[in-house]
Copies of this chain bind each other. A is one copy, B any other.
Amino acid sequence: MAETDTETPRERYRTQVRAEIKEHAREQIATAGASALSLNAIAKRMGLSGPALYRYYAGRDDLITELVEDAYRSLADTLHAAAASGPDPRALAHAMRGWALEDPQRYLLIYGTPVPGYHAPDHVTVIANELMTTLLDACSATLPDGPVTPLDTHLANHRHWAADHPASPAVLHRALTFWTRLHGVLSLELAGHFAGMGFDPALLFAAELEDLLTDGGDPPTDHR
């Protein structure tokens, strides 16, 4: 940030108002979901009239896209910080769960129901790749590398998504299951599907995590 002195007052004001708009949008999404986000409501809450917001965001989609990008950025930073604290993937997993529970709608903004026509801009995919990299790093540490499964050989030939990462196919496989299993528990918990069941989702999450970390030593017999 060496060149912040070149910021004109106009630019400073603009970025501040944009931040304030996003703040209200976040609050609104957290309480009523992304589908209920209303530019008009935000404007009224900020003391100005509807069309004024279009000076700052091209439209509803533009605002939501930036919120998605911020969410990705926040998750990437959180996981990166957790991974930096040590080589144990447990820290990463618990950081992920904590981040998700902190604001469920923010997690669902990334991993929830997508709009069929929508395509994420490049910024987002870049951060998603960064996320994948920290996950691969964490999964590279602890692994005895058991026998090769059919999926492993397939991933060896389709590692486009981890092109520049020096990870074995088994690590790719491990990272994917790490992702999908934790997301499986987490998304169902956040969506409220465990609500009436009575058990503690944290224990299910912990059990899945332990299974992920201990299961590597003795892979399943590949009969088929």
Contacts and interface: CB of A to CB of B under 8 A. Distances in A.
Interface of A: 31-36, 105, 108, 111-117, 125, 128, 149-151, 154-155, 158-161, 173, 176-177, 179-185, 187-188, 191-193, 196-200, 203-204, 206-208, 210-211, 214-215, 218, 220-224
Q: How many copies does the complex hold?
A: 2
A32 B114 CA distance: 10
B198 A210 contact: no
A222 to B, nearest CB: 8
A115 to B, nearest CB: 5
B180 A150 contact: no
B192 A184 contact: no
A113 B33 contact: yes
A206 B211 CA distance: 18
A83 B218 CA distance: 29
